[in-house]
Structure 1
Amino acid sequence: MSTDAIAYYTARLAYETDVSDVAGELAAGTEGLVVVDTRNLESWEQGFIPGALHLPTREIAARAEAEIPRSARVVTYCWGPGCNGATKAALEFAKLGYQVKEMLGGFEYWAREGFEVQTADGVSRPPIDPLTAPKSGIACAC
């Protein structure tokens, strides 16, 4: 067993999470969890994770300490796997001393896996994309 591989994957799990895990924590009402949408206002208005805080990456340094308790566990997300906005935002939170994880898959996979999405019109649940999650809606248990 490679100790380098163990260290690498342990580190990844310490700083990354996925949409299913975040959905589970939100559903359980996990204390101290703050989910942060790091996209611009136009993107936010297209839809966001219910309960998320809208805090674009460029505003984190100026606003985070006033809006997010230092004891919070922050999870950042942006558009999706083709975007590194959540990584950049997580770095900004880390520089401020927050415990932070990046949500892999971003808003794209949140919606594709059929989790609730909020817009000005309310909350809806998009259909599950069978290429990203079981059609039953039951977690893949990976």
Structure 2
Amino acid sequence: MADKEKPIVIIPREKAVFRLDKNGIWHTDDEKFTNQKIISYFHSIIKKDKDGYFLEQEHEHFLEKVYFPYEDTPLFVFRIIENNGLILCLSTGKKIRLDPEKLLMKNDNLYVRNDEDIIKLNADAMLSLASYMDDADGQYVINTDGKRYVIPCME
């Protein structure tokens, strides 16, 4: 006998009691989250549908989708690992191989395009790339795999 699908409870963005700032830090009211387990958990349950980004959590009798406000982007690169190339460790727990042709600059911040998502590199991740980057004629360049890639500016 198959389980019945649980009803979905949707919390709209304007009713969410937490938000994500432009640096990937969760807040409630005017306070930052400090419990690392909760911070990691929140990042790990971010999903996206046609209505935007939300946190999805399964409860005993229902599935909850909380659309949350965020500044800039809800997805971040928190760490970079060197392993036969550069591996981007995302805030969600996913890892993706860096494709230097998908890097973008905006307001002195570095982003990477992954399908339709724009993912922001936090300060630690940007610092990890510093030894691969230089400035050529006012444009940022990344040097990897023996090639130079100009990083375009995003509008």
| TM-score in terms of structure 1 length | 0.27
- Considering fraction of residues, name the structure with more strand: 2
- Considering fraction of residues, name the structure with more helix: 1
Q: Which has the higher contact order (CA 8 A, sep 6+)?
A: 1
State the structure with more CA Rg.
Answer: 2
| TM-score in terms of structure 2 length | 0.25
